[in-house]
Amino acid sequence: MDFLYFPEDKSEYIPGIISVVIIFILSILIVRLLTKASRKQVKKLEEQGYPVVYKDGLDVKNVDDNSSELKKTQANADEQKRMHDNKET
C-alpha cells in the first residue's frame, strides 16, 4: 500500500501538526470576525428602525419583563410569518 505513508522518523509529522494548528486558529478567528460583523449589521438595522425578529420572534435583550411588549413582538412575528406564507402560495 504505497498511498499510506507512516514515516519511521516521527519528526516528519511536525509540519503537518503545525499546519493543522494554524488552520484551526484561523478558523476560530474567522468565526469571531463573522459574528462581530453580524452583530454590527443587526445594530445598524435596529438604528434604521427595522425590527430585528429572531427565530422565536422575541428579542430577549430589548424586552424588559413587560408582557404587553412581549405580546406585541410575538404578534408582529406571527403576522410576518403569515404574510411570508401567503406570498409563497
Q: Is the pLDDT of residue 61 over 60?
A: no
What is each CA distance from 56 to 5, 60, 73, in whole angstroms?
51, 10, 10
> Residue 51 — very low, low, confident or very high, per pLDDT cuts 50/70/90?
confident
Q: What is the pLDDT of residue 20?
A: 97
As a whole number of angstroms, the distance between CA 13 and CA 21 comes to 12
User: CA-CA distance, 77 to 69, in Å (whole number)?
Assistant: 12
1-33 as b/e: b if 16+ CB within 10 A: eeeeeeeeeeeeeeeeeeeeeeeeeeeeeeeee
Output the pLDDT for position 88: 67
pLDDT, position 76: 80
For the chain, give the mean pLDDT: 81
